[in-house]
Structure 1
Amino acid sequence: MSTLKDMIFDLSEANGTPGEEGEISNIIEKYVSKFAEVKKDKFGNVTADMPAGEKTILLDAHTDRIGMIVTGIEDGGFLRVAKCGGTDTRVLAAQDVTIWGKEPVYGVVTSTPPHLSTPEDAKKAKDFDAILIDTGMTKEEAEKLISQGDRITVRCPHGEMENGRIFGAALDDRAGCAAIIRAAELVLKEKERPSVKLLFSGQEETGGDGAITGSFNLDADECIAVDVSFADAPDMPSEKCGKLNKGPMIGVAPVLDYRISQKLKATAEAKKIPYQLELMGDSTGTNADHIAISKGGIRTGLVSIPQRNMHTGVEVIAVDDVESTAKLIAEYILGGGLDA
């Protein structure tokens, strides 16, 4: 029987950059189809319906991961690329990558040795226009397997650390996907609960289009969006960060329904689930911003999993924070949601 950690690793290893979420959507379908009917819409979103009471609570997490897109093939088999989502150029040099062509092709982002770098080179990361990927092939060989528009992801085998922490690529937001699957499993057998709909949305990393279209098509009375947020580390502003192993971060922001935030907080305290607050004076930078204004508006809350090294190939989370996120959401649902 797979554990929550196994599921997170399974989800995080999958391809699925914005607009190319096919592989990850199939893996999510494998898990969710065990307890609910799964559908896929025209935009590539994965949805599932768990009917029960009259009220409907929507749970959302995004499936896509950051990456790159091939814009050209140069002499020597080097690839020109553009970012696909919020890829951080500061950590790309010398990274090994997978090019998702006619078959997977492994490559390496080029890096200038320090002996040949100028003082100016040392002060800044390369612009994306200057990044090249070495495929080890000739141009002619590369063109047989790789085309403009193919996607690229950083390779990073997952691993475990002390204190129940794990690392890997795409934990943003595959950890969130795992959390809402786990929450759905926790409420599955309870009959006296609101109906639940699951939305695994695409293209969050390029603007949240999947959440916009997906939530429009799903009639919901309220929503809880799940994403990752900043976890503290040296030189990070503590007021903007949560802590690993201290529970989910309950969002408070103008776009979020304050009563949902308060109900989540009260639920955590009543059920002795560890939690933290994430206070934001503007938008949240997550799908919650889009779902809240879908159709005539959907009352929306946000629960985030603390994460270090966001938008890199070695993102770090604590598995117990994912479990606590799932438990909090499940207890909120079993408590009837807002106005119960």
Structure 2
Amino acid sequence: MKKEQVVNCQFSVWYPIFKKHTIKSLILPLPQNVIDYLLDDGTLVVSGSDNNTQQTHTNNNDSDAEEDVQWSDDETTTTATAPEFPEFTSRVLEAINALGGYVFPKLNWSAPRDANWIALNSSLQCQSLSDIFLLFKSSDFVTHDLAQPFLHCSDQDSPDPAINYELVLRKWSELISGGEFRCFVKENKLIAISQRDYTQYYQHVLKQEEQISHAIQDFFSQHIQYNFLDEDFVFDVYRDSQGRVWLIDLNPFGQVTDSLLFSWEELTSGEVAHQQEGPAFRCTNSEVTVQPSPCLSYRIPRDFLDLSTGEDAYKLIDFLKLKKSQQEESEEEEEEVEVIPQQ
């Protein structure tokens, strides 16, 4: 996977090409002060009320009127003033209203799918800038987009291309997870199709495997094949209840993209492509194989995850020191207890 391939998979690059075959969306340039805020570990809540300028939708539960966010511990108390983005807020609210009042947000590449647990509705549905920021600041996927978009590229010796970061707002649509599929294209040939939500068993997918595969192949040959800038890429589609296929997203053909029910080894080696004439189709074929969502790990505090996997040696050393200190204190307390002999 080359850096150029990652650049070509930006939403603003492919959306104009396939606009008629995907969900209506609006793209807003992301100001540098907003990027700095999203990368800042300190402040979480945006000050000011972003629903004051909203014309058709309000949220009475917003607590944006609070100007300061405070943290305290045993030794110090600090106050961080949450930033305000009045002009950007106004543009975002105008775009949200133009899209019907509810949107699905993402950056150039990623949506904050790993952070939907933090939203009150456990969904990526947003109706204000505060909703979007809460998801973005809680998402490792978004942080990767902003900080390390070319991390897994093979041409690390070449300079990183300049990126103009954007906020993508997509009109909210109720998509059934059982209708989403990920498709893998190598040398402009569709070689594999995987059920997108492979952690669940959908009976209709197993029963309609042939129809689904043919519908996606037809969509690919009519609208996608030879129209994208690269010959190796991954695209996500949604097949609705009427059998119509819609393009949802485009991703680089490489490790940065989840290969779902396939492995990247078999996808890159040509093993899958030579097994049959058409694309290989895989889905979860019984309830026995249902798995927990891979995004569940993002709900665990990072410190706990580092300790459990041993990825951060310093955290492990500090943890062992703490346990040793607690043990010594416990032994000292036992020695101080007066023992009364039995009469």
Q: TM-score, normalised by structure 2?
A: 0.26
Kindly indicate whether structure 1 or structure 2 has the higher relative contact order, using CA contacts under 8 Å at least 6 residues apart. 1
Greater strand share, 1 or 2? Answer: 1
Highest Rg: 1 or 2?
2
Q: TM-score, normalised by structure 1?
A: 0.26
